[in-house]
Structure 1
């Protein structure tokens, strides 16, 4: 690949707050399957705590809006469709339309990262694994900065190597649910570096605190998803925010008509003031459900609920018991997200989506039963 040395030196893995400890994992021996996601756990017929999508279907008003756009499907998506979507997103974040790139879900943004031709990319882990999968798939060496559970998985900006020219971090981070202070993320921005902040779940946190979506920093690229809050995982809808020149580099390898008409309509609709207000109300409800769910799960002997703010919770089970408990839950009709596919976590970590209290009661009962005879 142009601009990448033949035998690039691997950036060393760093544990946040400590010295570099080891090279990043070789893709041939990587024990974490980077492309394993929650949808692989959520088989039909199971009560789904594995996928972080709110609700079982988009709200009625959004379904009606998308249905009305069906008559346009005989025509190719137009520049006008794209312009309307970018203008709606720009108004929502106080930016200019040229600072918006509409995506087929934020995952497309991660798939495009190799187009930026970084020499020394670094991903903060535990975190969403698609950015690393895309970079490794392009033959790039990927370094890790591992946050520590003993420190609440907080990121120390000083742990990111100075030589990193692309840094990827989630906020809030998936699967830990940790919300990093905006000041810590700003400290990572500098000339010659692209800072990618994954804000896929930012709109699910009341008030969207610590978001950089409205900020203009050198090399900042913020990715947003609409699939979680609006139950659009099957449609794929999201966008990137950043300097127009950076967005142009990111978009260079895309085909013509990269986002379909329905995706563009969804981005437009979900960025309008009424939808943003609706998302804010949903975030407040989710936060209350999260508090209730965390308290209920904490009553189960052997379960530790780790701190966070996102619409999911990271659990730690007794050592060596995670795989057995997960399989027992599955046999009892409950799907949860395994976490040994995230660098920095292991088989005794589970992630569970925040759900309404009736479903949570099923999870608590099944989890207590699954732990009988296996709790340390």
Structure 2
């Protein structure tokens, strides 16, 4: 599956080390909340707590979770997506596209009937009653932040099972839909911790849902999905509450610099006004793979978005990186043949 972040394959092709690649393809915070030194005293001999008590406590302190709502933890948000859809076994699946390929992939494996709704053309569209809806907010790969009230009401009226993926919501000053679970027990919220906390190697994601729904999901889950190292690191990261506002301000500033670099290059006829830690742009001519080839000399990796439903090779996505990386990208654009 085409996915951002495969710097190892890219580095092998260029004959360099992965850490020498400027990876604009993976939307990971360039700053971490805590240092790895917090893991020095982790005891590796005993098994980790299979109930993840301290980590769940840290999550509840970080996120407002209403009563009657519980947590199921996974080895990353992608694992949560697969596990949830395997459990629900939906017959009709409404995908609000563009969105990343994991959803369409697992839908194909499960034999679902997929109904693609192009949210760029018509956001409020009729979908089959009793279907399962998947909506990513803020969206990917364009980063648009949506007001969810009207959509939730429409889906509830159609008696839909609703899955809202909020993997990038932490980058925005916006409310989660989690509070609605208390009033609609067919709502599931997926969250990723690796993206906001800048630790893609620490694979932790989770699902928020009504207590009965979480119990049903838990029946099919093994014990010890997460290591003691994963849990200790993430507990420390979640406790750094100052990091939240620092990251939001930093992301907004760097996203502005990235937007300016894309605009000044003259390569793009559209830059989408995203609210997350990445920007989607459409090339005025040529395609993303040609642009990628021209950026290889600078060891810059970008994400071509032709495997997103409704997009093509002219669409490319850039993660928000630090100022030095963005300046290097802007410099490299000057050597791109238009």
Q: 2:37 pairs with 64, 86, 92, which one? A: 64
Q: Report how far residue 77 of structure 1 moved.
A: 2.0
For 2:234 and 2:322, locate their aligned partners in 1 and report how far apart those are by CA, in whole Å.
26
Q: Report how far residue 298 of structure 1 moved.
A: 0.7
For 2:36 and 2:68, locate their aligned partners in 1 and report how far apart those are by CA, in whole Å.
25
Q: Report how far residue 316 of structure 1 moved.
A: 0.6
Q: 2:265 pairs with 293, 300, 310, which one? A: 300
Q: Report how far residue 224 of structure 1 moved.
A: 1.0
Q: Give the structure 1 partner of residue 107 of structure 2.
A: 135
Q: Give the structure 2 partner of residue 24 of structure 1.
A: none
Q: 1:286 pairs with 251, 266, 271, which one? A: 251
Q: 2:199 pairs with 232, 236, 246, which one? A: 232
Alignment of 1:25-44 (within 5 A): 35-40=1-6, 43=11, 44=18
Q: Report how far residue 344 of structure 1 moved.
A: 1.0
Alignment of 1:150-229 (within 5 A): 156=123, 158-163=124-129, 165-190=131-156, 192-205=159-172, 207=173, 209-216=174-181, 217-218=183-184, 219-229=186-196
Q: Report how far residue 79 of structure 1 moved.
A: 4.1
Q: Report how far residue 261 of structure 1 moved.
A: 2.2
Q: Name the stretch that deviates more: 46-55 or 162-171.
A: 162-171
1:117-157 CA distance string (max 9 Å, x none): 21111211111221222222223232211222xx6xxx62x
Give the alignment's TM-score, normalised by structure 1: 0.79
For 1:143 and 1:259, locate their aligned partners in 2 and report how far apart those are by CA, in whole Å.
34
- Answer yes or no: is the 8 Å Cα contact 1:329–1:335 preserved in 2: yes
SS at match of 1:99: strand
For 2:39 and 2:156, locate their aligned partners in 1 and report how far apart those are by CA, in whole Å.
41
Q: Give the structure 1 partner of residue 25 of structure 2.
A: 50
- Answer yes or no: is the 8 Å Cα contact 2:279–2:317 preserved in 1: yes
1:124–1:251 CA distance, 2 compared to 1 (3 A): farther
For 2:135 and 2:79, locate their aligned partners in 1 and report how far apart those are by CA, in whole Å.
16
1:141–1:331 CA distance, 2 compared to 1 (3 A): farther
For 1:193 and 1:84, locate their aligned partners in 2 and report how far apart those are by CA, in whole Å.
34
Q: Report how far residue 349 of structure 1 moved.
A: 0.6
Q: Report how far residue 260 of structure 1 moved.
A: 2.3
Q: Give the structure 1 partner of residue 319 of structure 2.
A: 353
- Answer yes or no: is the 8 Å Cα contact 1:83–1:97 preserved in 2: no
Q: Give the structure 2 partner of residue 270 of structure 1.
A: 237
- Answer yes or no: is the 8 Å Cα contact 2:94–2:134 preserved in 1: yes
For 1:244 and 1:309, locate their aligned partners in 2 and report how far apart those are by CA, in whole Å.
31
SS at match of 1:355: coil
Q: Report how far residue 210 of structure 1 moved.
A: 4.2
For 1:277 and 1:97, locate their aligned partners in 2 and report how far apart those are by CA, in whole Å.
28
1:103 aligns with 2:74: yes
1:363–1:322 CA distance, 2 compared to 1 (3 A): same
- Answer yes or no: is the 8 Å Cα contact 1:238–1:267 preserved in 2: no
Q: Report how far residue 75 of structure 1 moved.
A: 1.9
Q: Give the structure 2 partner of residue 123 of structure 1.
A: 95
- Answer yes or no: is the 8 Å Cα contact 1:106–1:223 preserved in 2: yes
For 1:213 and 1:285, locate their aligned partners in 2 and report how far apart those are by CA, in whole Å.
26
Runs of 4+ with >4 A deviation: none
For 2:40 and 2:130, locate their aligned partners in 1 and report how far apart those are by CA, in whole Å.
45
For 1:359 and 1:181, locate their aligned partners in 2 and report how far apart those are by CA, in whole Å.
32
Gaps in structure 1 of 5+ consecutive residues: 1-34
1:364–1:320 CA distance, 2 compared to 1 (3 A): same
For 1:215 and 1:66, locate their aligned partners in 2 and report how far apart those are by CA, in whole Å.
36
Count of equivalent residues: 323
Q: 2:48 pairs with 54, 77, 87, which one? A: 77
Give the alignment's TM-score, normalised by structure 2: 0.87
- Answer yes or no: is the 8 Å Cα contact 2:68–2:210 preserved in 1: no
- Answer yes or no: is the 8 Å Cα contact 2:257–2:326 preserved in 1: no
1:320-360 CA distance string (max 9 Å, x none): 43321121112332110110011111101100011122211
